[in-house]
Amino acid sequence: MKMKAACLILLCLILLSSFQQTSAGFCDSKCGVRCLKAGYKERCLKYCGICCGKCQCVPSGTYGNKDECPCYRDMKNSKGKPKCP
């Protein structure tokens, strides 16, 4: 019984880590496109990555189109301004 439980836990951990890598790859590629023309590219990539990680989506293009992803659009910083580029 303990062996089955240990195998199940191990399988769950493997699946979880593969999902996180896929998610990170998705965000990296989408944010790379989103921040392609940004003046402050590193900052754009940082905040886009944070927003994508929470929302699992990034609007298309390099600017605008935020209605494609309401979670991304509605996220605000501590000053009440849009957090996501």
Per-residue pLDDT tens over the stretch 12-71: 555 555 444 445 689 999 999 999 999 999 999 999 999 999 999 999 999 999 999 999
* pTM of this structure: 0.71
Structure tokens at 24: 């990170």
| pLDDT score for 14 | 58
Among 4-8, 49-53, 66-70, 76-80, which is the least confidently predicted range?
A: 4-8
The rounded Cα 34 to chain-centroid distance in angstroms is 12
Q: At what angle do helices 41-55 and 2-34 cross, to 10 degrees?
A: 140
DSSP state of 56: S
C-beta of residue 70 within 8 angstroms of C-beta of residue 76: no
**Residue 74 main-chain phi, psi, to 5 deg:** -90, -5
